[in-house]
Structure 1
């Protein structure tokens, strides 16, 4: 049996961080783990092959796969740096390696604990730039930001993981009126030649503290800093720790539903209704949804009457039949599942569910309802909808990443300021606060900078090696004469130096320091004196290290107590809320606090986008009713490692980490052995797209999708002959060798690698110019750029579209795309508006993976791929195609090579539908607002200016034409469509 095969079977024994019990595994990799060449044990998708069965096996699998997808990438990247042979293959993560690193200072903050300052040479591209350009470069690169994970490599045989300290917060929370320490003022850009940054240890155990102190006390050891752009420890560590806690406590709810394959039929529960709804006499009152002021009770478990109840609810509320049915059935299931195809009102249904649950909150003793989403954007939208529909104002939004002005007053940090602490909390907080502040004073007293000085060493020798001290520092003339040694009157360093230099060289091997302990200092050879001096220095450093480690440990315990008091206050405040909104990552970070809240209902929107390990962290032990809303046919969760994704053709979905819990619960067992096939409801009436657009996803994925009648009357697209069109072309794609720049190709925020590996990032110059010309044409029809979105699957194409379009329009790039652009190493001078500003008029440019859940009146699509091999890349999966084709409300225009796309089954169906409606060809028909019957066909970028200058046509017109060009902010009147050369030239720029 091969090593790889054996490794796949059971965990344990590969290295010092490999255990069968996940609770024993440290989150960050050990040095031994990094050097280990054996394959990690990764549970496959078949539960019968797991090393432990049932719900424990499910937690074990999710922990190991999530750790491999995050920490495993870091582990392999560091391995490339410390093991020369590993460089034969490309590292899995894009990284920057700074060499010539120096450890400048070690400091201690009363609230944040031990930190240290390192510096390194400025990147060559900015080393000669003025300070304001260096600052701009560092800020736009979004590198080494607070919370970013880095790794210090010391002489290639020692490593320590750190995070970038939040220097601004440290300055804000500095101790009393004391001045900031010198080491609290690091700067990436102030110094022309070297950048400096403050770091904190990820793990403050004694060995790591001593390692930092050893480096600090030595003269510039060979040290490098590995930077993982955009990798935040907080993005994966809390979820991994939450899974370990669940495994240890064995308190994950709904084991019979989450892992039904392990359930003994005889132990199957008699009812699947939520426990609180199973209590005698309980019934949901849906009066709050009705147009009439009457009670409408739904008895849990009364399945025979559900059809009549659905019909009544539909007729007497604003819900359609699918929404009404989904709502009633979700109330009757411990895990309610709703599939919401694009535009079918998932959020509206979610708001209605929350409204009903709040109306029955008292009777069911539900406590706060926890609303969870994958993104901050979706969470803001949901909570704003609750306010807009006046469902409740008792909302608390947990987390600091909200961009909604409406929700500012509802944030936990703002709203809880008015909470009163108990007398005990005030007293305890004051005591702990003093302990924390004293810890900084104690650190200052240790005087780390002088801890290895000759003076300190002299005191150490005096205290622990008195006999040797008396010989080196004699007190009487007799002692001087006895050893013929006259120490200088200067610093102790001179004494130690003279003693070492006066030793006699010898060919005999030096004796051990243990033997030398009982030897006169003047009977030692020169080498033995060097060794003895080194031993004293090591003892001193270890003594100082122990003091600081003890201080760090004491500080951490005080900090835990300090945070616990804050949590107590927050828990009291949150318990009074009706709705708590939080992201999945935020919930994992506050898992311990939320465990104490005793919330019975959890609702998750965007459930199809959430990795199962992150989703499981939302299943708090107290939860009796979970409602997951998503769409398994839209984007799957994003994973780092293509090897772990279901899209991995070679792996055949062996691990399928990117299959969400939602997809696993609704899929039949024919899909994967872990599929559950639970009952779910599908919403069917879409309100977003014009029927001509919705037919593309209806004819391929959603055969039962219906269009709301008003969608048929959406306005036509001004200046265009048709609202839906594919401009077919054969202009070949471009590829950029990013290995030369150290840039790894990614589809979007954290999407899987392409089938092309990491070598190239695709873009298409022809499509960029066509898109640019089309945006100009639409703007000249009096559309605002805020009504238009440009989508593409490739990050490189996004960046080049952004650069080109920014010359003429304000650009809006979402946070996740913007982070990816920066972290991929793309540097330019554009400062795009963020998503909030986009609503005020910015042209939205996005990757498809980061546009799910959003929409635009007009969507322009650049497919990019155009090659003789007919490789479709990221757009070979129906999930991604589905999202791409379902974002437009009124008009959608696709620019791409149909021959490249046609070999993908879904694209083939889409192309056939477009051909039936004559909506695809190698020329695109524009329409002049003054001469609508004039035929205008464009196939190349230059055709727009030649055949439709200023958005019109080339016919002479007797009527004045008012043309508004928002990109130039001018208004003109012309007697003909083509006339003023100056204006024509201006538009062509």
Structure 2
């Protein structure tokens, strides 16, 4: 801060600079002036570096041209597993990393643009051309330039309502369109000041910019610029933290002994040592409160009260109250926010009159508002600082709202009133400087086209003689003509041409709309979390506005003409004697010099304006301190804490609690350590989401910028407590995070929850396996279109079964998939689009919902899984659901790429088994169970299930295609095993787990592949042993498998004789293969007393060997064979993909073992059920014969002639006709001893023909 501003600060103080005069208002406010805010700002502005080692201390607030032009600077290594030797080294390290994270993306974008200036938007940056400055707003927030620009390089229409382009606080660079990009000296750095919707929806769009410093201000409306914006990095989130780190270097650093030097010995807070007896009754209920009202917590911590906190929560509370640095890990659903609320209530109850406020902060507005909502139950007078809360009750306590309700007079001696007056005067002075570019002004010869000679003389562009010659010549001209033109128009005559920037109309002709970057709510959350739209930012920029559009100019001139004109301008006295052809070039020089002179004056005035704006901000904070110092609790985001650090420091808080501390980068938490701090509480979970870095190279070794202070302290064995009893997830899917939290247990409240009637029967969780391929969108984000369609169909099915949209959240790891999911869901007109909750995992930390659908997206031959390999993200994804959790993805790719996913899928495969290649649903109205396999299957559940739709339409569905029929042959599907790294397909008759399929891998090539002459070799690795040399974030690895790498897969070529031998083996297999009906019953009914299947031993020797290996892992084999005719008919009944479970077993027997006495009754029920089925699917057999898919002779030989009769005949036979034949045939094959070899051979031929 310069001497003049310092003098104004001193004049603003009362004579007693140690204690300002005190006065009171009628509202009971203490209007004493807090001088600490001024002193803080003055010291911050006066920070200077004394050597190259601390050069970082005087780095400017915004990046310089040199910083953007050069390569990445040398950065210090972040020590995450060792102490720092000094505070200075620690702060310098994190300042450098934070600054590179803030600037690196913009530097990379600029370098890429320089390599190809004609490029359109890329996934890294956006390009806007035809950028022109059209005016200025003199606002109390700063001097803002209004610009217009073209979005043609976007290539699409921009949905500004939901776009994250050019949001307030974004940093951009402006490059002159005519400059050579090899030299960036003319580059200008600016920050988006405001992006009002009305402005960006105009044609052309308009926004307001703050230039990075007064010297960078541009005023020429005819100058054309190109604007570059990086798509990664949000500078507003960094700049306040960077300045706070610089200021912290000049302060004492509380807790440096623990944060820098990692001292594990943590004492109680100083204030607690002075007054150790406190009131803990907030943690108790009812009559127990009395016993906890006066406890000396430094001597002995009492036992936990009954029916309040569990034992781990009580231990955590002790840590939060009695340690000056308390670290609390709260795994998903363990109630860490509740414990924080109890801790804050205890701290509030023990706060004495005159004590400083307790500061509550969090990374996001949502997390902050959630905690403040709990706090309001015991402290209604808290204050919410910054941001626009979406919680109506919390919003009422925002400082902005309190100001409107309870206005206070200006503080005597404060800077706010005087700076307001000075800003108004300075605005008028600066507007007058720009008058030559906006209006005629005081010169009678000026017009709305060009300035007059006197203005140009005042600017030093023309001398007195030149100005007089223009005026005299104009007087003579006017006396002989009737023109109203000014001297310069007359002098230039036809050389003066209109100036107009031609923008394309109607959204620049683009028909395709740009994909939404983020959902509207998520975009607002991102802006609010980083300090944008705080109370002073809520409205548009206010202040005097001046338009500087120019209407006329001259055509471009050659360099030789410009040289001649320049010499004449410096020597001529009578400009009317200048040749006509040089007047245009000369005026171009005059314009350029005039604007340069105006710019010089304007920039000098802007320096003073900028200082007044800063003074006004200090004065505003002095007013705010009056409201805040009487508040017992103040809440703000971590970015807000950095932004308002001068104000918060002046309040002298002793206690700061940071919620979701593990999600915040280290620097924003570090700057929370203001000089008055005695007690810091960090609550979070380092195994969930980490902080986000804009520059990916800064994550991981050696910089580890994404490692939070919370995680670093835990890694280095600083004392911390963990909550270990979860109250959110059903145990059925809580087991999926057991590797991450081996000691996590279930609270009694989540045990034995009743199954909600939402169309899934008893299935509270399920993993649907598929191999649908992934793709990349234009921003290189991954999406899986088939999976998105399937998930959307399931969402609609749930909605049809009575689940409200607000009860369902769809999660995905990729924004590209989120867009696809929204597109598919919005295609259903009966789903209320406004209530859709489709989120990325990264935006859902701390959230939960009744039902969570997880779209995993990744599916490729290389088994690359990207974000899904990030353990922290997976942890969040697996732990958001309360009652129902359903996953959709390629299990093969996941198990191959990740030990964590291997263990997750293994758990889904173990009892109760919840994984398959079909998706079972159960209509809550009809109790009909169906198996979905493809996205189009959901179209047949219009009313909630298949049965409803069939009755509604009174027609059958389309026939299955050839591929469906091929997949319908059960023995082929079983024998197929694993092919080309894909999971075994599933035909609806049984459910197989990956664990059960491991023996198939060991058995070598599948028999179907052998019969088809090719067979990829597959291997199954032994489960991995614990590796002491390779630690894992989730603990020791518990096992896994790897397929043989793709490079080792080979194809076998057999001789004709060998091929015939293999085909013979396949024929044998077809007559003696396995049947999975028993397996299906075991899996879906839970019956444990089924007769164990036996192994057939009279088949082909390779079959016997493979089956012998198969049996220990599967117990699937059986010595009978199910008719393929029956299979195909049932397949046709459900379009080749679904199964009515009740066609095989009635409802009563699905959940318990059926006694022999009940079997006869159940058999008649099955007959009745199948009779209904034939009425819905009559005529299928005839159609199959006519289409050539079934052999007429085989049908006749098996007594199936009734299938070829007309529809009426088939319908009349009902259950005693077609379905009776099927039942009889089924029972024949189940009960026979397989002696009818001739019939079985015929069956095997039919099976082979279906291939």
2:62 matched to which residue of 1?
A: 28
| Whole-angstrom distance in 2 between the partners of 1:432 and 1:613 | 33
2:207 aligned with 1:198, yes or no? yes
| Whole-angstrom distance in 1 between the partners of 2:681 and 2:97 | 25
1:358 matched to which residue of 2?
A: 348
| Whole-angstrom distance in 1 between the partners of 2:259 and 2:830 | 47
* Distance change (3 Å), C-alpha of 1:781 and 1:451: closer
1:892 matched to which residue of 2?
A: 885
Select which of 112, 121, 132 maps to 1:80: 112
Per-residue CA distance 1:922-971 (angstroms, 9 max, x = gap) = 22332343665x653333334455589623658999xxxxxxxxxxxxxx
2:191 aligned with 1:160, yes or no? no
2:260 aligned with 1:250, yes or no? no
| Whole-angstrom distance in 1 between the partners of 2:559 and 2:771 | 79
Shift of 1:543: 3.8
The DSSP-based 3-state class of the residue aligned with 1:143 is coil
Instruction: Assess if the C-alpha contact under 8 Å between 2:102 and 2:235 holds in 1.
Output: no
Shift of 1:319: 0.9
Instruction: Assess if the C-alpha contact under 8 Å between 1:372 and 1:379 holds in 2.
Output: yes
Q: TM-score by structure 1 length?
A: 0.74
The DSSP-based 3-state class of the residue aligned with 1:77 is helix
* Distance change (3 Å), C-alpha of 1:70 and 1:712: same
2:930 matched to which residue of 1?
A: 936
Higher relative contact order by CA 8 Å / sep ≥ 6: 1 or 2? 1
1:335 matched to which residue of 2?
A: 325
Select which of 429, 438, 449 maps to 1:442: 429
Shift of 1:228: 4.1
Q: For 1:586-601, what aligned pairs fall within 5 Å after superposition?
A: 586-601=640-655
Shift of 1:370: 0.7
Instruction: Assess if the C-alpha contact under 8 Å between 2:942 and 2:949 holds in 1.
Output: no
Shift of 1:356: 0.7
* Distance change (3 Å), C-alpha of 1:464 and 1:710: closer
Shift of 1:566: 2.1
1:820 matched to which residue of 2?
A: none
Task: Single out whichever of 879-888 and 143-152 deviates more from structure 2.
Answer: 143-152
Q: For 1:218-257, what aligned pairs fall within 5 Å after superposition?
A: 220-228=222-230, 232-247=234-249, 249-257=250-258
2:862 matched to which residue of 1?
A: 869
The DSSP-based 3-state class of the residue aligned with 2:687 is coil
Shift of 1:791: 1.1
Instruction: Assess if the C-alpha contact under 8 Å between 1:110 and 1:438 holds in 2.
Output: no
The DSSP-based 3-state class of the residue aligned with 1:864 is coil
The DSSP-based 3-state class of the residue aligned with 1:623 is coil
Shift of 1:867: 1.6
Q: For 1:119-130, what aligned pairs fall within 5 Å after superposition?
A: 119-121=148-150, 123=152
* Distance change (3 Å), C-alpha of 1:366 and 1:260: farther
2:1114 matched to which residue of 1?
A: none
| Whole-angstrom distance in 2 between the partners of 1:860 and 1:507 | 71
Shift of 1:709: 1.0
1:656 matched to which residue of 2?
A: 704
| Whole-angstrom distance in 1 between the partners of 2:465 and 2:948 | 104
Instruction: Assess if the C-alpha contact under 8 Å between 1:188 and 1:197 holds in 2.
Output: yes
Shift of 1:471: 6.9
| Whole-angstrom distance in 2 between the partners of 1:555 and 1:466 | 26
| Whole-angstrom distance in 1 between the partners of 2:99 and 2:683 | 26
| Whole-angstrom distance in 2 between the partners of 1:57 and 1:600 | 26
The DSSP-based 3-state class of the residue aligned with 1:635 is coil
Task: Single out whichever of 880-889 and 59-68 deviates more from structure 2.
Answer: 59-68
Q: For 1:497-896, what aligned pairs fall within 5 Å after superposition?
A: 540-646=594-700, 653-668=701-716, 677-698=717-738, 700-718=739-757, 719-738=759-778, 743=779, 760-808=780-828, 833=834, 842-896=835-889
Q: Which runs of 5+ in 2 are unaligned?
A: 1-50, 473-482, 497-557, 952-1170, 1178-1251
Instruction: Assess if the C-alpha contact under 8 Å between 2:192 and 2:210 holds in 1.
Output: no
* Distance change (3 Å), C-alpha of 1:333 and 1:728: same
2:199 aligned with 1:187, yes or no? yes
The DSSP-based 3-state class of the residue aligned with 1:315 is coil
Instruction: Assess if the C-alpha contact under 8 Å between 1:289 and 1:317 holds in 2.
Output: no
Matched pairs, number = 816
Shift of 1:243: 1.5
Instruction: Assess if the C-alpha contact under 8 Å between 2:691 and 2:706 holds in 1.
Output: yes
1:367 matched to which residue of 2?
A: 356
| Whole-angstrom distance in 2 between the partners of 1:465 and 1:884 | 68
Shift of 1:198: 3.5
Instruction: Assess if the C-alpha contact under 8 Å between 1:336 and 1:626 holds in 2.
Output: yes
2:906 matched to which residue of 1?
A: 912
The DSSP-based 3-state class of the residue aligned with 1:621 is coil
Q: For 1:109-188, what aligned pairs fall within 5 Å after superposition?
A: 109-121=138-150, 123=152, 137-154=159-176, 155-156=178-179, 157=184, 158-166=186-194, 187-188=199-200
The DSSP-based 3-state class of the residue aligned with 1:356 is helix
The DSSP-based 3-state class of the residue aligned with 2:173 is strand
Shift of 1:796: 1.0
2:103 aligned with 1:71, yes or no? yes
* Distance change (3 Å), C-alpha of 1:449 and 1:686: same
Instruction: Assess if the C-alpha contact under 8 Å between 1:113 and 1:552 holds in 2.
Output: no
Shift of 1:874: 0.7
* Distance change (3 Å), C-alpha of 1:849 and 1:811: farther
| Whole-angstrom distance in 1 between the partners of 2:856 and 2:293 | 51
| Whole-angstrom distance in 1 between the partners of 2:705 and 2:414 | 48
| Whole-angstrom distance in 2 between the partners of 1:856 and 1:584 | 26
The DSSP-based 3-state class of the residue aligned with 2:88 is helix
Shift of 1:24: 1.9
The DSSP-based 3-state class of the residue aligned with 2:837 is strand
Instruction: Assess if the C-alpha contact under 8 Å between 1:338 and 1:680 holds in 2.
Output: yes
| Whole-angstrom distance in 1 between the partners of 2:922 and 2:894 | 28
Instruction: Assess if the C-alpha contact under 8 Å between 2:465 and 2:574 holds in 1.
Output: no
Shift of 1:323: 0.8
The DSSP-based 3-state class of the residue aligned with 2:728 is coil
Instruction: Assess if the C-alpha contact under 8 Å between 1:271 and 1:301 holds in 2.
Output: no
Per-residue CA distance 1:348-391 (angstroms, 9 max, x = gap) = 1000100110111118x64211110111111111111122xx22
Instruction: Assess if the C-alpha contact under 8 Å between 1:283 and 1:299 holds in 2.
Output: yes
Shift of 1:237: 1.5
Shift of 1:576: 0.9
Instruction: Assess if the C-alpha contact under 8 Å between 1:76 and 1:92 holds in 2.
Output: no
Shift of 1:693: 1.5
* Distance change (3 Å), C-alpha of 1:276 and 1:443: same
Instruction: Assess if the C-alpha contact under 8 Å between 2:811 and 2:838 holds in 1.
Output: yes
* Distance change (3 Å), C-alpha of 1:201 and 1:797: same
Aligned-residue CA RMSD in angstroms?
4.3
Instruction: Assess if the C-alpha contact under 8 Å between 2:280 and 2:346 holds in 1.
Output: yes
Instruction: Assess if the C-alpha contact under 8 Å between 1:723 and 1:892 holds in 2.
Output: no
Shift of 1:242: 1.4
* Distance change (3 Å), C-alpha of 1:361 and 1:949: same
The DSSP-based 3-state class of the residue aligned with 1:791 is strand
Shift of 1:801: 0.8
1:391 matched to which residue of 2?
A: 378
Instruction: Assess if the C-alpha contact under 8 Å between 1:366 and 1:601 holds in 2.
Output: no
Per-residue CA distance 1:299-353 (angstroms, 9 max, x = gap) = 4544xx34xx2xx2x2346111111111112222111000000000001100010
Instruction: Assess if the C-alpha contact under 8 Å between 1:239 and 1:589 holds in 2.
Output: yes
The DSSP-based 3-state class of the residue aligned with 1:767 is helix
* Distance change (3 Å), C-alpha of 1:979 and 1:798: farther
| Whole-angstrom distance in 2 between the partners of 1:63 and 1:338 | 26
Shift of 1:518: 9.2
Shift of 1:893: 1.2
Per-residue CA distance 1:552-575 (angstroms, 9 max, x = gap) = 222233323332232122112111
| Whole-angstrom distance in 2 between the partners of 1:733 and 1:428 | 64
Question: Which structure is higher in strand share?
Answer: 1
* Distance change (3 Å), C-alpha of 1:687 and 1:112: closer
